[in-house]
Structure 1
């Protein structure tokens, strides 16, 4: 039976991409609300309650409001905001992150879509904590760079229109310098850490793509080496085609990694780099911030939920 899907916030960056991906599908009935009606709560509530699955591409408060508007209707949710990333009763929408996570998503009432930076960080960290290689108390540092499309319509305009008074001319910039980025709680909880990671995000002058970089000291880990880390990642992601573990001999031949290499895809590559003596290890995740990091992940979660 054809399922009805409503994207609440379909006119934003992530919502538009999801709508484009779903527009030609004949296995769903895509409900739509005119842009001028997006703040009309009666019409929103009607759409939310009529949908079998609603995808929320909204600020946090508006996402919570949407869930309340549909209360009692049986509507299932995929929330792309940060409102429910570590909330009770919400299944984390990263199918590859844990054994059995895919099945949990299939049968979930409510799924919280991961953040873009979080996807790369958790993809690298969670297999290592599960394997016992990375202590939960390890003081993790994360450095990352994202394409400017992750900043939404305003940042896209600031980057692409040099005539604006608030145009951004820098080739890249760091932000969240107070170390309170909204993805930190999610990364901590979903990676199995007990300490807040120190996270420094950056935005580059490219539209889509992302690199998430995590340096590690082998001597501070539980018998870890480049080889055992690579083996743990390969074992964790065996049997799926979304996350690729780059072979070490391929990584050794690279002079650099392009942050746009995965742009336009819904996949992710993981690299394990190391100093020659193996004492320092550099983990890198490469993904599209709007693909596996946002709309691609939402559609993946939708496809899983439609299997129920």
Structure 2
């Protein structure tokens, strides 16, 4: 059995422990030094950073740059707008089989004519001619009402009429004048006269014209004082040989009541469309 001798190192003894302890101590000291160094560097950098003052903000330069950009954008917009306005003025015609035609600007649109107010041409006086007459062409039995309310109608036998109510409660009577009973000489033109009225309200005068060869177009009533009154002509449809005329004559009441006043009508004349006299009668006393 072998026993260790004096002076021989024991690897598991105190010497090994001493070496291990020394190595561990050296490693711990190295880590602490590195941490300390990092801390001091951070402090140095922080102090240096606090000592540095930041430069002032370049506001004026920023404003100038902003204005330049705004001007460039406006210029670009104006250029685009001018291009759009000028684009309709150019017409480009391209031919796939030949050279391009020359470019011609479009003609500006023609301005609309401005209406000017012209002075009206002086009206010419109407050509002189026969006065227009009042003519009614009626069917047999067709009634016409006069200004005072009297009614006239024609049949193939002659003239019928009825005057307004003469007095309250008195029924007006129908009156008749024949053109076929032989009392009138229808072989020659002639005019008859009937009348009704009052001194204050005037007179409605009427009558027959007969024996004419052309159609009556108007009738002129010459009043007591020389006034010409344009009366009304009534004719049957299809018959131009005779007819009825009527009109209203106004007479001042003082004149109508005077002893010298005799008849409201002095003359009646019937004309055709050519203003030729076809029948007339003078009733002046």
Tell me, yes or no, whether TM beats 0.5. Answer: no
Structure with a larger share of its residues in helix: 1
Normalising by structure 2, what TM-score? 0.21
Structure with a larger share of its residues in strand: 2
- Bigger radius of gyration among the two: 2
